[in-house]
Each structure stands twice: as structure tokens, then as C-alpha cells.
Structure 1
Amino acid sequence: MLKILIVDDEVLERKALTKIINSSLLDVTVIGEAANGRKAIEMAVEHRPDIIFMDIKMPGIDGVQAVKEIKKLNSLIRFIMVSAFNTFEYAKEVMQQGVKEYLLKPSSIQDILEAVGRVSSEILEERKHQEEQQSLRENLDRAVSIAQKEWISSLLVNQVQDITFDEWSKLLGVEITSGYIMLFTLQQLGPSELAASEKQNLYTWLKDTLKAVVKKHEIMIGPITDTQVPVLFLCKKVTEKTYFKTNAQQILESFIRFFNKESFRGELRIGIGHPYSQAHELNKSYHEAVMALEQLLRMPNRRYLFCDKHGTAFEVPAESGFMEVEKKLLDAVRQGDVNQVLFIFDSFVTKLESNKTIKPSSVKKSFDELFILLSRMLHDLGINYERIPAIDESEDIWLIFEKGKTHLLAVVQHVQLWRNNHAKGMLQKAKEYIEIHFSESITLESVAEYVELSPFYFSKLFKDRFGLTFIDYLTEIRIKHAKAEIVNQGKSLKEICYSVGYKDPNYFSRVFKKATGLSPTEYRKVTVS
């Protein structure tokens, strides 16, 4: 219900307006009366009315002055000016303040209520528009957040190959020339694990605080795995290592100050990778952040650590091809393809045989990194597999390889079991959900959430399992039901369009024709005749 304030120096005028408005069928109510402009300003601040009936000629602060002052305080309030003087100058002054309604005393009840009706409709229409815009912004923010998480997840397992910084620059509207990864984690102090609600609170706080602290970079925040969150920092320009570190340190020091004011059960630790000028190299920055974080967790007095690019994190020579085979290994494990995993792994070992400088410590660290990536991938898939092999860098290098191979095979077997049982059941559950809810506004994200899988992996698994993408299957179901409905001539094509989940009859017609070769109208003629 809209609130109205009556302002007039004549008490009878105020009482008459109040009675007319409160007796009407309009969804409005008078919440107060003021005898002069000064009182009107005070009551506007106190009661925040939606509409003010404002008399122009009053002692002291007149109506025009009062409108100017009130609009400074609240520009959303609408005014209906009332005057016994029919002069252009008065009308011109109030029109300059954006006032559209002007009533002459004495006004008929019909004129008064019509003016209130017009202003009320304008307010409600504007509010509806604002709510729609807010809803669009929220949906867009949610879509962007989901897209960023999947983007980061893909990037970390080196699945993003064809996106350049130039393309990111166009998408984000700023010039991007390099990027790097920070890996945030909460090192727990007690034996008990964080509850799911505590992890969610940590994740929400981290996102909000990073957005408040980071000003000179664009950031993309990945999903939380256990208590680890990868964050991609996209920079305009990084010309020197010291410049990059200076900026990163400023961000981290501010962030840590905010963290110290919170009461999370654990200590904040951050590993930082190096910046890279090519988007496909960001996977390296993530690897560096992982290695920096591993070292950091053994340093009780440090909060963050930059990876030493000349240290142990990348001792495996580039020609060994380890970085190149990681993606293939992860893909083969995700598919549960034992033969492919063995082939890729054996090729990798054969490649290393020619390298006489390789060290057990280098291989051990590379395997540690691979197993962390495997763990993250399994978590995103919804697979619980916590076992990690105990590899000692003092062992013979070939024994390390054998342990790594054994672990990979165990993971593949676990994935196979999951795909054959749990994933199969969840995908069937998703399929049944689509078949029941096809007429609603369902999305890939909502169905993935229903079966508790990440949208990225749900999409891949669904296509692998059924040979169709999610949207193709949803379309197939909708068209199947539409074809059955079209035979019933008692229903209009527009009704059928809405009943199978489409909101736009023109779009429905295009999709139907693409699927059947006929428009809905043509299909009805053929099938009914």
C-alpha cells in the first residue's frame, strides 16, 4: 500500500483530502498531515511517504521550496501540487522540479482520485521495472559466478586451450596482459573438521572480502575444495617481478588484516604462483601456487609464500613432457580408461629414461602435484577418494614411478566403479527429473545441483552416458510432448508452447521445425488430416 502525506495550511482542505483518499478503493493510505513546508520536510524524513499532496501558497517555506528540499533528501517521492492560483509561473516552477500533477482548488473527487491513480500507477510500474532489473542482475551475477567457477576448474586441469587474454579483455571490458593464481586455504588447528556451513561461511566471506580489497585487478574465484579456494588474478600490466610482488603483497596484507578480525577455526595460508602472459600457461601458475602452499604449511610463522621459480617446484625438465601428459592422464582417469592411463603413463616413463639429470625429489614433487589435481577433479565429480600414496624422495626413482602408477590404477578402478554405479544412478535420476519437470524453466545448473554434481562434469557425464547434450535431451522431451499435444485440436499452439516449457511461441515454432522439419501449424494439418 502506498503512503500519502497531505500538506496544506488550511485544516479543512487537509481533512477533506484525507477523507476522500482513505475512502477510495485505491491501494493508498494517508499517513500524516502537515500545516506548512517546514513540517512537511520533517515528516517526509520521518515517514518516507510515496506521494505528497503539496499546497503551493503557504506561510514560511512555501510548497515549491519544500519540494526542492524534499527531493534533495528523497528523489523517489512523487508530488501532486495543489493551488487556488491558475498561473503559468507556478506551474512552470513545479514542472522544473519534475512534478507532473497539478490540481486547482477546489478539485472534484474524481480529479483527485484520477491524479492519485496516475501517480500510483507510475510508482508501481517503476518499482516493477526495478525489481525486474534487480532480478536480472542477480541471475546474471549467479550465472557469471557459476561460469567463473567452471572456467577456473577447467583451467586448473589444463582443459582451457583456446582462450586468450585478448578475448578475456573483450569479455571483461579491460585490457588484460597477464594473470596469476593465488591458492587460499584455512589450515585447521583442532582435530575436528570444519562443518559444511563453516566452509560455506568461509567461502562467502573470502569472495566478499576479496572483491572489497582488490581494486587494480580483475579476479575470478574458483570453487572451494575442502578448505582450498583458487583465485585467478588478471592484471593490466606486469613488467617486473618486484612490481608483481609489491601489488600482490599489498592485497595480501589488507586481506590478512580483515581475516584477523574474524573468528574462523584455523589459520589463513596463501600460496602464490608467478604471472604469465599467455592464458594457456596459467595452469603453471596454479602448479606453482600448489607447491608454494605445500612449503608454506611447514612454516608455522608465515601467512603467504611466493613460489620460487628457480627452486624445487619445477625441477622436472620441460622436455620431460610432464606438464603435457597431465591433462591426458586426468582425462583418461575421468573416463575410467585403464588402457589409456597405462599407455600415457608408460610413454611418460619412456621419455624420462633418456634424461640423465632427473632426480627422485623432482619426480616425487611432480607426483604430489598430480595427485592434488586428481583429488580436486574427483571432488568436483562428487567422488570421495582420500587415499594418497606415501612416496619417499629417498627411494629409488623407478620405485617412485611404480608407486605413482599403482595409485593411478587404483583411482581409475574407483572411478570405474563410481561411473558404473553411483554416477549411473545420478544420471538416471537427472534424466527422470528432466522428464518430470520439462515444462518448467529448468537449466543445466539446476539439474546438476539436484543430483549434487558440478555443472561442468554433469554436462560431460550426461553426454558420455546418453549421447546427447543436456539441452538436446530437454528439447527432445519437450518436442515429443508437443507432438502429442498438437493432435488435440482443442488446444491452441500458444497453449501447447507454454505447456511444454517454452515462453516464446516464435522460438518454440523454430525449435519444433528444426526437430521435425515442419512448423507446429503444418504438423497439425498433416497429423490431423
Structure 2
Amino acid sequence: MSLLKILIVDDEVLERKALTKMINSSTMDVMVVGEAANGRKAIEMTLEHKPDLIFMDIKMPGIDGVQAVKEIKQLYPSIHFIMVSAFNTFEYAKEVMQQGVKEYILKPSSKQDILAAIERVSSEILEERNQQEEQKSLRDHLDRAVSIAQKEWVSSLIVNQVQDITFDEWSELLGVEITSGYIMLFTLLQPASADLTASEKQNWYIWLKDTLKDVVKKQEVMIGPVTDTQVPVLFLCKKPTEKMHFRTNAQMFLESLIHFFKKESFRGDIRIGIGHPYSHAHDLNKSYHEAVLALEQLMKVPNRRYRFCDRQGTAFELPAESGVLEVEKKLLEAVRQGDVNQVLFIFDSFITRLESNKTITPSWVKKSFDELFILLSRMLHDLGIHYERIPAIDESDEVYFMFEKGKAHLLAVVQHVQLWRNNHAKGMLQKAKEYIERHYAESISLESAAEYVELSPYYFSKLFKDRFGLTFIDYLTEIRIKHAKAEMMSPGKSLKEICYSVGYKDPNYFSRVFKKATGLSPTEYRKITVS
């Protein structure tokens, strides 16, 4: 615990000086930061010094101690008080007790009584701070977990892998009534002068997440992962969305977002493609494809920053729409598993069905393949697989040759995934394990370990558990406890020192984790092993 700051308030100068000397000469981690002769001065000095604890005399001219406590409590509810009085009057005590004051000592008091009161309040302050730190840590972990979950949800929607969740279920999960949803696809255009750096892309992504939370009202926002400079964002609407109402709301917050974007110093420019809203969750994949199409159309128009998809131009009204999404889902899963036979079977059966449809055009086939390869690229990126080759499918080709080029690309990708699954992933996970073992004493997280091995946090967590049978945090805890046990064999080291040396910031939390892992508290373990 850091040094406890104390303010002394008493209208008798000798009382103040005696109390200050008594406290400052003690061996406790405390320091008197100021003295005040009355309640008004006490309020002023509280604003200046922000003490942790105030010794407050009750009977003073002007603003007395009881009124001063009330005013200070309104400004700083966390400040603690020890009331001091020459009168053992219950009415005074009752008034300050209503303000949450628990300590009350009579003048004159012995040094032992005063220091004992400080010790009790110090313990209470320490407990409150520990609780606040734990709550902050829990909030931080929850925020990270929610961020990862949102990214995975949006990624799953994009590849059409979320079929069994309804808006009613999302409403229950989020605690608000969700009636419809749609996708926007944001991108930061690369400047003509030079490509954006990884740091610039990450800064833009962070800015986009923060700004969307500020400008979007009456909707839940789920922000997907960034792929190069593209970010899919899912908007869940809390009220039925009429066409005009949806467009008006979207335009309002997009204009606000673009206004804030212009104030930033990002290189490049922002573009947004917007899909249509749907009242069923299983249709959100359509909204994503519409956003992709809108963004493609937007790129052909100079000086426009966003575009709504024209329903007349969407691929979903072209032939064979009922089977396209399901095939995309199955193909992507087969590629992810590295299953060549499944990829060939699904693709060939799909092509056979398409070839029987006389309305298929080269333009439609090219658009379908382009969208499939975008989804494929996103999936590979999330897995941490680098595969940059893109097939040259041209509308001037015959449909048959377009199908053959598409199949060849899928086979090349799935073979690359097989190689990665057999070699690269294992190597990356072993590298992550070694990273944890080297940096266990630092403040490392799932995200930092995933970034080190260039995998997305979601897939890193999944692959790590599959490979080693332990979650990331369980393995990190195991390593830290192992080193803590070893250090306990040295009698010269305090448990507090050991706690900090193995990566924990709070001795109480370390004690709980240690006991959960070993069945014994650190003190009990040391007695048994060192004796």
C-alpha cells in the first residue's frame, strides 16, 4: 500500500502539532500532509491535498466538524475520518455515523489509541483499494473477453456459420430488445504516396472502435476483426427498422463519424459500404455481402465516403441464391479443416447444380468468386495464415474456365492450410509456450501472447487448449506457481517479494491463487517445505 496521506483538523494549535508529531514519528506508512484550524480551511486543504484520512475535531468555530464531514463526503466519498472530541456526546457521534464515519476518539488520547485507530482505518482503506483493483481487473478482463467474443461473432456471421442464434436470444444475452440487424464494412484507403504501416492501421482500428461507441445511439455495435484496412461492423437495432428510418439514422451517425475523422491526421481516407437490415439473424450474412458490393461500387465514385447497397444490384437476387450461402459455409469449413476431399466434393456438386441453370452469367460467377475469396482471405487472416495469391478470374473467360480457376485456387489454399496445420501451428504454439515461460514474471495477456506468434486471440486460445490441454491462463498460473514454490525455498525472501517476482501485483490475490492451485496458503506451504 502507498503512503497514507493524513490531514489534521483542530482549532487548537497545540493539539494539531502534538498529533502531527505523534503520527509522523510512528513507524507506520503514513504522513501528515497538512493542518487546518477550522472546517472551512479543512475543505480547502482537502481539495488541495486529497488526503486518505482526516482527523476531524467536532467542536470548532464557524463550520464545525460534523458539517465539514458532510461537505467533504459530497466531494470525495472515499475519504475516511477519525472524529476527535473532548465531549463524549452520543448526539455528535450519531450525526457523523450517519455519514459513514466509524472511528471516534476522545481528547486527550494516548499515542497507542491514536495509532490503533489509524491502523484500523488503514486496513479498511487497503481492503477497499484491493476490491477496487480487483473490480478494475475484472472489468478489463471482461472488456477484452467481450471484444474477442464480438470479433468472433462478426467473423462467424460473415462466413455464415451462425445459423442457430435468433434475435430473441441475442436480446436476452445483451439485455435489450433486438429486432433487426445489418452490416457496414469500413475501410481506410491506402494513400497514393506509400502504404500504411501496421501501427497506422492499428491506430485507425482503435479510433474507429472508440468513435463508433460515441456516435452510435439506440443500437448495439459489434466490431469485427480488422483485415488489412477493412473492418466489418454489426449493428443490432432495438426498434423495428423501416427503410427510411434506417437510412436516416445511419446517415446521421456516419456524418458525425466522418466529421471526427476529418479532425484526425490519418493518411488515406475512409470509405463505408452499407448492407440492408434484416429481421432474422440468419440473413445477416446477406447484409455483409451487400456491404461488400456497396463498397466495391463506392470505389468507382470519387469523393463519396459511404454508399448504401442498391438492392437491384445485389447478387442475392440472381439464380441459385438458396444454395450459395450454404455452400460457402461448407466450403470455408472444409478449407479450415484442411480436408481436400470435402472441398472437391462440395465444390463439384455446387458447380454441377449451377451448370444446369441457364441464367448463370460470367459476371455473376466472377462476383460470386470474388466474394468467396474475400471470405476465404478473412478466415486465413484470423487463423494467422499468410497466403497472398489471388486467382485471375476474368469476365471474358468462359464460365467453365472460371470454375476451373476457382477450383484450382481452392485446392492451392487447402493444401497450404494442411501444411500450416501440420507444421506451422505446432511451431507457433511451442513458440508461445516458450514466450510464457520467459515472460511469466511480467504483465502478459492472452492478447500479447497471440500477437507475439501472429495469431488472432480467438484461434490462439482455441489451438493452445487443443494442443496442450490447458487454457492460456491456466498454463501461465501453473508456471507462476511453480516458480513461486522454488523461490519459497529461500528463507531470505518474503512472500510479498515472491508474489511480485512471479508476476502478481496483489499479495492477497496471489495467496488465493496459490491456495487454489496447491490446497495450502503460501505461509502454510512454506512452513511444511522449509521446516
Query: TM-score range, shorter-chain basis?
Result: 0.7 to 0.9
Amino acid at match of 1:82: V
Amino acid at match of 1:179: G
Question: Could you tell me which of 252, 255, 258 is aligned with 1:256?
Answer: 258
Name the CA shift for 1:22/1:232 in 2 (closer, same or farther; >3 Å): same
Number of the residue aligned with 1:496: none
Q: Is 1:416 aligned with 2:418?
A: yes
Q: Is 1:172 aligned with 2:178?
A: no
**What is the CA–CA distance in structure 2 between the aligned matches of 1:169 and 1:392, rounded to whole Å?**
44
- Give the SS at the match of 2:311: coil
Name the CA shift for 1:375/1:106 in 2 (closer, same or farther; >3 Å): same
Number of the residue aligned with 2:160: 158
Name the CA shift for 1:182/1:118 in 2 (closer, same or farther; >3 Å): same
Question: Could you tell me which of 367, 375, 378 is aligned with 2:377?
Answer: 375
Name the CA shift for 1:100/1:424 in 2 (closer, same or farther; >3 Å): closer
Q: CA deviation at 1:401?
A: 1.9
Amino acid at match of 2:327: V
Question: Retained in 2: the 8 A contact 1:181–1:233?
Answer: yes
> Map of 1:226-245 to 2, 5 A cutoff?
226-245=228-247
Q: Is 1:343 aligned with 2:345?
A: yes
**What is the CA–CA distance in structure 1 between the aligned matches of 2:440 and 2:303, rounded to whole Å?**
55
Cα deviations across residues 285-335 of structure 1 (Å, max 9, x unaligned)? 111111111111121221111111221443532456222211111122223
Number of the residue aligned with 1:186: 188
Name the CA shift for 1:506/1:322 in 2 (closer, same or farther; >3 Å): same
Q: CA deviation at 1:433?
A: 7.1
Q: CA deviation at 1:439?
A: 13
Number of the residue aligned with 1:24: 26
**What is the CA–CA distance in structure 2 between the aligned matches of 1:44 and 1:202, rounded to whole Å?**
41
Name the CA shift for 1:106/1:460 in 2 (closer, same or farther; >3 Å): closer
**What is the CA–CA distance in structure 1 between the aligned matches of 2:322 and 2:163, rounded to whole Å?**
20
Alignment root-mean-square deviation, CA: 3.2
Name the CA shift for 1:161/1:49 in 2 (closer, same or farther; >3 Å): same
Q: Is 1:321 aligned with 2:336?
A: no
Name the CA shift for 1:247/1:27 in 2 (closer, same or farther; >3 Å): same
**What is the CA–CA distance in structure 1 between the aligned matches of 2:517 and 2:225, rounded to whole Å?**
34
Name the CA shift for 1:470/1:95 in 2 (closer, same or farther; >3 Å): closer
Number of the residue aligned with 2:268: 266
Q: Is 1:121 aligned with 2:101?
A: no
210-219 or 389-398: bigger deviation: 389-398
- Give the SS at the match of 1:270: strand
Question: Could you tell me which of 44, 50, 53 is aligned with 2:52?
Answer: 50
Question: Retained in 1: the 8 A contact 2:181–2:279?
Answer: yes
Question: Retained in 1: the 8 A contact 2:295–2:307?
Answer: yes
Number of the residue aligned with 2:278: 276
**What is the CA–CA distance in structure 1 between the aligned matches of 2:326 and 2:122, rounded to whole Å?**
65
- Give the SS at the match of 1:79: strand
Amino acid at match of 2:396: S
- Give the SS at the match of 1:394: coil
Number of residue-to-residue matches in the alignment: 489
Number of the residue aligned with 1:149: 151
Q: CA deviation at 1:393?
A: 2.1
Cα deviations across residues 455-487 of structure 1 (Å, max 9, x unaligned)? 4434665688x6x86559x89xx8xx99xx9xx
**What is the CA–CA distance in structure 2 between the aligned matches of 1:459 and 1:110, rounded to whole Å?**
54
Amino acid at match of 1:271: G
Question: Could you tell me which of 95, 98, 113 is aligned with 1:96?
Answer: 98
132-141 or 114-123: bigger deviation: 114-123
Cα deviations across residues 191-218 of structure 1 (Å, max 9, x unaligned)? 4221111111111111111111112111
**What is the CA–CA distance in structure 2 between the aligned matches of 1:37 and 1:205, rounded to whole Å?**
46
Cα deviations across residues 344-379 of structure 1 (Å, max 9, x unaligned)? 222111101221212211111111111111111111
Number of the residue aligned with 1:513: none
**What is the CA–CA distance in structure 2 between the aligned matches of 1:27 and 1:34, rounded to whole Å?**
22
Number of the residue aligned with 1:63: 65
Q: CA deviation at 1:397?
A: 2.2
Name the CA shift for 1:312/1:60 in 2 (closer, same or farther; >3 Å): closer
443-452 or 139-148: bigger deviation: 443-452
**What is the CA–CA distance in structure 1 between the aligned matches of 2:132 and 2:464, rounded to whole Å?**
38
Name the CA shift for 1:297/1:111 in 2 (closer, same or farther; >3 Å): same
**What is the CA–CA distance in structure 2 between the aligned matches of 1:313 and 1:120, rounded to whole Å?**
68
Q: CA deviation at 1:268?
A: 0.5
TM-score between both structures, scaled by the size of structure 1 = 0.84
TM-score between both structures, scaled by the size of structure 2 = 0.84
Q: How much identity, in percent, do the aligned residues show?
A: 78
- Give the SS at the match of 1:161: coil
- Give the SS at the match of 2:184: strand
Name the CA shift for 1:26/1:507 in 2 (closer, same or farther; >3 Å): closer
> Map of 1:499-514 to 2, 5 A cutoff?
503=513
Amino acid at match of 1:274: H
- Give the SS at the match of 2:425: helix
Name the CA shift for 1:502/1:335 in 2 (closer, same or farther; >3 Å): farther
Question: Could you tell me which of 197, 215, 218 is aligned with 1:216?
Answer: 218
Cα deviations across residues 96-117 of structure 1 (Å, max 9, x unaligned)? 2222222221111122111212
Cα deviations across residues 236-273 of structure 1 (Å, max 9, x unaligned)? 22342111111211221111111111111111111111
Amino acid at match of 2:32: V
Name the CA shift for 1:129/1:420 in 2 (closer, same or farther; >3 Å): closer
Question: Retained in 2: the 8 A contact 1:152–1:221?
Answer: yes
- Give the SS at the match of 1:231: strand
Number of the residue aligned with 1:353: 355
**What is the CA–CA distance in structure 1 between the aligned matches of 2:107 and 2:197, rounded to whole Å?**
68
Question: Retained in 2: the 8 A contact 1:307–1:313?
Answer: no
Amino acid at match of 1:356: K
Name the CA shift for 1:4/1:459 in 2 (closer, same or farther; >3 Å): closer
Question: Could you tell me which of 333, 336, 342 is aligned with 1:334?
Answer: 336
Q: CA deviation at 1:16?
A: 0.5
Amino acid at match of 1:41: I
Amino acid at match of 2:395: E
Name the CA shift for 1:24/1:428 in 2 (closer, same or farther; >3 Å): closer
**What is the CA–CA distance in structure 1 between the aligned matches of 2:211 and 2:418, rounded to whole Å?**
40
Name the CA shift for 1:469/1:236 in 2 (closer, same or farther; >3 Å): farther
**What is the CA–CA distance in structure 2 between the aligned matches of 1:71 and 1:414, rounded to whole Å?**
65
Amino acid at match of 2:146: V
Number of the residue aligned with 1:201: 203
Question: Retained in 1: the 8 A contact 2:286–2:316?
Answer: no
Cα deviations across residues 139-180 of structure 1 (Å, max 9, x unaligned)? 111111112112222221122222222221111111112211
Question: Retained in 2: the 8 A contact 1:185–1:229?
Answer: yes
Amino acid at match of 2:53: I
Q: Is 1:387 aligned with 2:392?
A: no
Question: Retained in 2: the 8 A contact 1:150–1:222?
Answer: yes
